[in-house]
Structure 1
């Protein structure tokens, strides 16, 4: 599929239901149909896109054994939903998707949440970060000044988050980002996430916030924003260029804010992680073409 144009991929996958099924079959089996019940069994092709496993005598189709197994929606709608989901870096709302697919808003919302689950699985693959990483938190929620007087929260400035949801992010410079909703921003909570996803002895850039114990396994370099110090660049005696800043992860948050404010506007705490997973998937595949990102989604679903 590498090198195919966006139009070619789109027309192959979505021209009709039969084409959509064949495209998904190619993503799943790449030309050789394998029984989900017995991978060693011979497979017979039947009508209506069905296959029969010789060893078990059971029938199946391309969706059997995948998260789409019980869906009643046509594959053309699923593929179009996935295509639109990954194509716009600002995301797509369930209202807009429902109009394009000619389904209810509730159906479109459930489809998008399902696709976000697929994206989350991809995010967790090869999620170990190393080298130089930047860590920082952001807080999701409306600004106090924009609330009605009787809904404003006192003493919620700065790192207070009693009216917001804290999100912790880790960016590998030039690489992937990991972002998680966290219950609090205590050092132990955040350090446990760093320990899970960042290789030992990596260089960790922070904004001056306390991360007790981080110096044990990592080399920590700080930019103390509370003292209006936002970064510096210098060369070591060996000629290595060191850039001390957290501008990379802050740039990630700025893109995330634009997605949330521009498309989704208000997201409940219960579902926030799924929207973050969507953003992380799109950010980590930022150098992919639309067709490559679309095929990546399909392969991982299959």
Structure 2
């Protein structure tokens, strides 16, 4: 069963007909046949009844859900697996209202499930880009002209931070993308991300925005969008702008509105799908299951 592929919801439900099949699959993906205690990874582990285990050193009981996004939830693993499949396979995501209908749970539960899953989308901080890298930023928050007359924000056109949140992106051509919510688009805010995530000596293409003196450590060239020039040979930022297009369509068409507090989680969701675009839906599903040791509590999610 472990090696069987699935390409549709029907095949997914066939592969996981009951809760036990989900537990067996999750144990294989998390431990690979060698159970490790979440309380002491050096401890010996004893198998008990009802899919439980006991840590010898701490004398605590645990199961495959312990200290993962599935921990302390009454929602069955079949529903969790279906939610993970829907989120990772739908190109623009799925709303909590729609997921609540699909899983037959409340909208509040569906939203919490989605936010827990999004926590597992976060990429490792030590990832570095090289070769040809395009960098750009976008703003999330909607256009002032589309707001109702009594909800318009004065002087918020263009690159305004009053009603919009900036997101900075770095995309390696034919590779992956890294995107971060930033407080503003100043050199002070953007340059540290560039130095951290792009290897020295790489080629960086940007628009005419000021990112600091990139030529000191990189081969830097830019395209002048203000003059309506969008490509000069290999110099363009069309690839990362294509990523922004997918991201914006998902936000406007599926989620409609996102708060500054939770925006990075939504960014991580689109980054994950983009970076796994060349692997199968099962491969994407398995990759997330291998990164589930991130428990998000509801009180931490809702506390300001």
Match for residue 298 of structure 2? none
> Which residue matches 1:240?
none
Aligned match of 1:169: 169
- CA 1:139–1:37 in structure 2 vs 1: closer, same or farther (change >3 Å)? closer
Alpha-carbon spacing, 1:42–1:25, altered in 2? closer, same or farther (3 Å): same
Could you give the per-residue CA deviations for residues 259-294 of structure 1, whole angstroms, max 9, x where no partner exists?
111100111112111111111111111111110000
Measured after TM superposition, the shift of residue 216 of structure 1 is: 1.5
Say what the alpha-carbon RMSD is for the aligned residues: 2.1
1:245 to 221, 231, 236: 236
CA distance in 2, matches of 1:148, 1:37: 53
C-alpha distance 181-56 of structure 1, shift in aligned 2 (>3 A): closer
Q: TM-score, normalised by structure 1?
A: 0.89
- Could you say if the C-alpha distance between residues 13 and 127 of structure 1 is closer, same or farther in structure 2, counting changes exceeding 3 Å? farther
Please, which runs of 5 or more residues in structure 2 have no aligned partner? Answer: 294-304
Shift of the alpha carbon at 1:252? 0.7
Q: Distance in 2 between matches of 1:28 and 1:188?
A: 40
Task: Give the match for residue 247 of structure 2.
Answer: 256
Provide the residue aligned with 1:237 in structure 2.
none
In 2, the alpha carbon distance for the partners of 1:299 and 1:32 equals: 14
| Residue 276 (structure 2) aligned to one of 285, 290, 300 | 285
2:147 aligned residue:
147
Relative to the length of structure 2, the TM-score reads 0.88
Rounded to whole Å, the distance in 1 between the matches of 2:78 and 2:42 is 30
Shift of 1:67: 3.8
Task: Kindly provide the CA deviation profile for residues 182-220 of structure 1, in whole angstroms up to 9, marking residues without a partner as x.
Answer: 111112211111111111111110101112222221111
Shift of 1:126: 5.7
* Aligned residue pair count: 291
Tell me what 2:5 maps to. Answer: 4
Shift of 1:60: 1.9
Tell me, which stretches of 5 or more residues in structure 1 are unaligned?
A: 234-242
How far off its partner does 1:223 sit? 0.1
Q: Distance in 2 between matches of 1:82 and 1:268?
A: 22
